[in-house]
Amino acid sequence: MRYSYTSRLTLYISIVIVLGTASLMAACAKQPETIQTPTESLNNEVIENTEKPNTNFGSGELLATRPVRFPVNWSFRNSGTLPFTYLEAVTEDELIVRGDDGRLSGMHDNSSIYILDRHTGKTKWQIDAGHGWAFTILDEAKKSVSVYTTYDSDGDTYRNVVNHIRLSDGKLMWSYQVPIEVEGHWTMAGARDVIILYRGDFEEDNRIITLDAETGKVLWEKSYKEQFKIVNDNGVEPYILLKQEQTLFALQPQTGNLQWEVSSDKFVSHAQEESFHTGVYIELRMNPFQSQQPYEWVRLGKELVLINLASGNVQARYELQLKEVVTIVDEKYLLLQRALDARDFLYGNTFETTLYNIAEEKPLWTIAGRGSGPIIDGDRLYLTLDGAPTAVDIITGHMVWKTATKELGYVDSPSPAKIMSSKPLLFWIGEDLLHIDKNNGSIKGQLEDVKLGFPEARDTYIRNGLINSDGEAIYLGSADSYFSKFEVGDFLTNFSSFTASP
C-alpha cells in the first residue's frame, strides 16, 4: 500500500521529533569534539554499511573526525534579512537572489527577492513578499525583472501583483494586478517576450492570462475545463508549454495559437499520478550562468520525453518505473538508481546505479550502490555513492576513487550529502561544505564560516541556486543569511599554501 504524501509527511515529522529529542539528550551529555589535523581527519578504511541510510545526524557525528577548517578569501559576503539564500538569475552586473525563512506553509512568514551588485555584493534593492511566495522572470535583454507576489507585506493583505522593475536602480516600469473577480492560486511563468499568469492545478476555473513583457498589457486570456500545468523553465522558451494529462501543447506566446503537440501512450492512472510526479525522477539542474538549451525534458504519463522546443520533434523517450529514481544529467545521459529487492524504490534496501546513454537507448554501465547528484567534468562523472563522494570513468564505469571517510555511508543523499561543484570539487554534508581532492577523493578541508541547510520543500531552489559557478568564481548561498562569492583560482592557490604551512 502506498501512503499519500500527507501521510508520509506526518510520519516523517513524528520520526524527526522523536529522533531530535534523543539527539538533544545525547548531545547534552557529550563533550565537544577536538579539531584534528588534516592527517588525522582522513580515514583510509572504507566502512561498508548494510543498514538503511539515516539522515538524522549532524555532520559532526557523520565524519570520523572533523577536517581542518580553511578560511576562505571572499570576494564579497552579503548578509541578507532571511536565513536561506539562493541564486535565481544573473546578468553581467547583477545577481537576483531569493531569501526565505525555510518554514513550511502555515508557519512560513517571510520571503524576499533582492538584487546584488555582481562585483561588489552590495544590495541594490529588495522586495519583501511576507508569507506569500514570489516568482521572478528575467527579461531577454537582462535589464529588468518581473516579480510576481501574492502578498503585500506593507498593506498586510493578499494582492496578486506583477511588478516589472529595472534591475540597475529598482525603478518600477509597469505593474499588473490580477482582477479581483478571478483571484485564486495563481503562478507566474514566462516565454519569449511574454509573462504568463496561470492557475491550472486544483482550481475550478483553470485559466491563463498572458502579458506583453515590455508593456504589461494583456495579450490574450483563455479558460480551460481540464487542469493543466505550464512547464516553461526560464522565460525565454520560444513557446508557452502547456501540459495536460499525457500531452504537451506548444502555444504561440503572442496569440495562444497551437504550434505543435507531443503525446505519450504510456498512461498513468490517477492513483499513481502522485508517485510518478514526485518520486521517480529528478529534474535537470538549471544553471543560471548557462544559456537556454534548445531542448527540454518533460514527463508525459510514464515517460520522460526529450523534445526539441523549436520543432516539437521528439529526440528521446524513457519509460519511468516505480522501482527507479531517474536523474536527468543532460541531453546525453540519465542516471538511474534502481531498487533490486522491491517493486517500489521507497521500500528498497539493495540498489544499483546505471548511466544510461540516451542516443543509443541503452545502459553504458552499472555499479552497485545508490548513486545520486551527478556532475560531469571531462571524462569523469562525480556523484554521491551510498553517501560518499565518488569519481567514475564516464565511459567504462570504472571507479577511480571513493572517499574513504568513516560513517559517510550512513548519509542518504540528497540530504544532507551531495556533490555541489567540480571546479573545485565541493561536497555538502550536514551544515558543512568540504573540499575534496580530485585526484584521490581525500578530504582536503572544510570551508570556514559556511553554514548550509536543507529546508523542506525547497528542492528546486537548492538544486539550482545554492552553489553555482561562472567558470571563474563560485556563488554560494547559505542557511545563515549570507550570499557569498569567491574566486576559484584564488581559492585553490590559498588552499595549497594553507595546507603546506607548518
Selected residue with higher pLDDT from 444 and 94:
94
Of 182, 193, 181, 186, the closest CA to residue 162 belongs to: 186
Among 38-52, 189-203, 363-377, whose mean pLDDT is lowest?
Answer: 38-52
Residue 5 has pLDDT above 70, yes or no: no
**Per residue in 425-458, pLDDT tens?**
999 988 899 999 999 999 999 999 999 998 888 8
Average pLDDT in the chain: 83
The CB-based long-range contact list for 194-198 (8 Å cut-off, 24+ gap) reads 194/219, 194/240, 194/253, 194/254, 195/137, 195/146, 195/162, 195/164, 196/230, 196/232, 196/240, 197/148, 197/160, 197/162, 198/228, 198/230
- CB of 351 closer than 8 Å to CB of 337: yes
Selected residue with higher pLDDT from 268 and 202:
268
Q: Which helix (H) or strand (E) holds 88?
A: strand 84-90
State the pLDDT at residue 248. 98
Task: Tell me the three cell numbers of residue 375.
Answer: 556532475
Q: Could you tell me what percent of the chain has a pLDDT over 70? A: 79
If you ran DSSP here, which 8-state letter would residue 405 be given?
Answer: -
State the pLDDT at residue 175. 98
Of 81, 93, 145, 141, the closest CA to residue 119 belongs to: 93
Helices (H), 63-216: none
Selected residue with higher pLDDT from 156 and 237:
237
Of 153, 90, 77, 168, the closest CA to residue 121 belongs to: 77
Of 407, 29, 225, the closest CA to residue 417 belongs to: 407
**Per residue in 160-186, pLDDT tens?**
899 999 999 999 999 999 887 666 788
If you ran DSSP here, which 8-state letter would residue 285 be given?
Answer: P
Among 86-100, 112-126, 143-157, 289-303, whose mean pLDDT is lowest?
Answer: 143-157
Q: Could you tell me what percent of the chain has a pLDDT over 90? A: 61
Residue 413 has pLDDT above 70, yes or no: no
State the pLDDT at residue 64. 55
State the pLDDT at residue 285. 84
Residue 52 has pLDDT above 60, yes or no: no
Please name the amino acid found at residue 437.
Answer: D
Integer Cα distance of 27 and 21 in angstroms: 10
Per-position DSSP letters for 98-139, written without gaps between them: EEE--PPTTT---EEEEEEETTT--EEEEEE-TTS-EEEEE-
Residue bearing cell 508593456: 215
Residue 209's Cα: distance from chain center in Å?
Answer: 27
Burial class (CB in 10 A: 0-12, 13-18, 19+), 406: middle
Of 72, 75, 118, the closest CA to residue 493 belongs to: 72
Integer Cα distance of 477 and 73 in angstroms: 16
State the pLDDT at residue 203. 63
User: Can you say whether the dihedral through the CA atoms of 66, 71, 76, 78 is positive or negative?
Assistant: positive
Q: Which residues of 221-260 are buried (b: 16+ CB within 10 A; e: fewer)?
A: eeebeeebbbbbbbbbbbbbbbbbebebbbbbbeebeebb
